[in-house]
Amino acid sequence: MGPLPRTLELFYDVLSPYSWFGFAVLCRYKNIWNISLQLRPTFIAGIMKDSGNQPPALLPRKAQYLERNDVRLLGQHVQVPVQFPKDFFSVILEKGSLSAMRFLTAVSMEHPEMLEKVSRELWMRVWSRDEDITEPQSILAAAEKAGMPSEQARGLLEKISTPKVKNKLKETTEAACKYGAFGLPITVAHLDNQTHVLFGSDRMELLAHLLGEKWMGPVPPATNARL
């Protein structure tokens, strides 16, 4: 028997394109590295409020840089089909992601095997096809595209307003805050007696170093660029 896999927690919100990049890379490496990847749906607005941070796009010069350069080029590098929403401020700052993240929380509680696929489809809607993720029909469409039976998806959607689901998302968000999150994604690596917290999607090479694993770029050869 080899060494036990090390646990990695990825705290993410589908409103964050950088969360998508980190998610894509870790999902590709989860069968290459000796890790147990735990996906943690988190509410980014709660983290921003708790930390006193502001969305980077509120600074006009930074917003321009993110849209014209960073997000587009990182999408190409990580091989994720990312596209800025046309009405970015409405999508990100007004509509937000509360229902979507509550839905993913319900998925994680009842059908964790579907969490990766449903998360990916919500990102595809908001950050690739510029489609809504706030209306019930939008969330159901993402779940069904991920392969979830429609009755199952409807059942989960009914639970997003229950205290159980609301509290779970709140607890996960509070856990991220306790780890020192001021934005998303954060990756928490539990190694032997140490816990390392890495912010952002661009610390994967450092993560490989901490794990004693080999970094082969964002699209390791064995995976054929699975999103």
Task: List active site positions.
Answer: 16
CA distances from 126 to 96, 118, 123 (A): 10, 13, 5
- Residue showing tokens 């901490």: 210
Q: Is the separation of the CB atoms in 100 and 64 below 8 Å? A: no
How far is it, in rounded angstroms, from Cα 169 to Cα 211? 28
Give the CB-side neighbour count of residue 134, counting CA atoms within 13 A.
Answer: 11
How far is it, in rounded angstroms, from Cα 145 to Cα 9? 25
Tell me which H or E stretch contains 29.
Answer: helix 17-29
